[in-house]
Chains A and B, each alone.
Chain A
Amino acid sequence: MVVLRITVTLKKAVEDSEGSSVLKALRLLGYDNVREVRSGKVYFITLTKGSKKAGKEFCEKLLANPVINECVVDD
């Protein structure tokens, strides 16, 4: 079994409105030291066989739109 961890985030250049909302909420809770929040999604995908290469394909074919997303595959 291979478990891939695939993290999809918005590219730095793309405004992350969810991250901005979380940043604002944390500051309202009194955490003045929070400078930036970036949001994203993490997928844990279990394969019977395969490698990180399969994860890259998952990114290209479904999980990320390269116009706005970055997709990182870890195993």
Chain B
Amino acid sequence: MNRDVKVAILTMEGTNNEEEAYLSFKHSDSSPEIVHLKKLENGTKKLGSYDIIFFPGGFSAGDYVRAGAVMAARIRSRLMKDLEKFVETGKPVMGSCNGFQVLVELALIPNLTKEYELEAALAPNMSNRFEARTVYLRVNRGNCLFLRGFRDGEIIKLPIAHSEGRFTPRDGNVLRKIIKNGMNVLSYVDDKGRLSGYPWNPNGSEHNIAGICNREGNVLGIMPHPERVFYNVTESDWTRHEWRPGMGYPFFMNAVQFLREKF
């Protein structure tokens, strides 16, 4: 019998996509639970009792101050040690969209120095618009555990919906290290797989970065929403291709399988 894999999907006022993430993990043979931040803050729940942590998308705390800033500040004030410990055990942590913004604000991404210092931000889109559509992405999977089912150079399509997704490194040195270490695991590309400008790069991200994995490969932050296309039939063009699992399916299945193999 398979080991039970417990997943915490962290929520607070304003997050959304919890249900999609919940169902994605549930149908990846794990036991997800939607956990409100307050329960972790008051000690009712413990991060250490879970195997995978997922930060969903949405607009935590109304996106006031900056997207993800309030949720990150709350976590940093009470739960950061537990979260760092969790990350350092090598267990999977993933954030999509607002979840990516939270991970960057927490300095879990890119975390080049392993000192959890702020090295990046997700700035407002260059278009100054809320960009919501399907985008093409090129996979550069490296050692990222969430991307094990993909081929290097594979082009996939995932939906996006955000207004603050422009990945902005602190300086050129941070960007160079991210690229040198192969941490830019997903890049916005055009329909031919080339790094291109707007509208292919929907937000003006440096080097077309759409997703970053930490060096160890167990923390992934991405602007697109794999949980929205776990199933083939929720893809925007599902009637135009043969049946297959949704493009988001491997992200969840990989995390659960990795957990069972390593822990």
Interface residues of A (CB under 8 A from B): 10, 14-15, 17-18, 20-21, 41, 61-63, 65-69
Asked if A61 contacts B73 (CB within 8 A), the reply is yes
Return A3 CB to nearest CB of chain B, in Å.
Answer: 19
B118's partner among A15, A17, A66 (CB-CB below 8 A) is A66
Residues of A near B170 (CB, < 8 A) are 67
- B47 interface hit (Cβ, 8 Å): no
Q: How many A-B residue pairs have CB under 8 A?
A: 44
In Å, the complex CA distance between A17 and B202 comes to: 13
In Å, the complex CA distance between A61 and B105 comes to: 10
Asked if B66 contacts A65 (CB within 8 A), the reply is yes
Interface residues of B (CB under 8 A from A): 65-66, 69-70, 73, 76-77, 105, 118-121, 123-128, 168-170, 204
Interface residue SS majority, chain A: mixed
Asked if B73 contacts A62 (CB within 8 A), the reply is yes
Asked if A17 contacts B125 (CB within 8 A), the reply is yes
Return B170 CB to nearest CB of chain A, in Å.
Answer: 5
Asked if B65 contacts A62 (CB within 8 A), the reply is yes
Return A69 CB to nearest CB of chain B, in Å.
Answer: 8
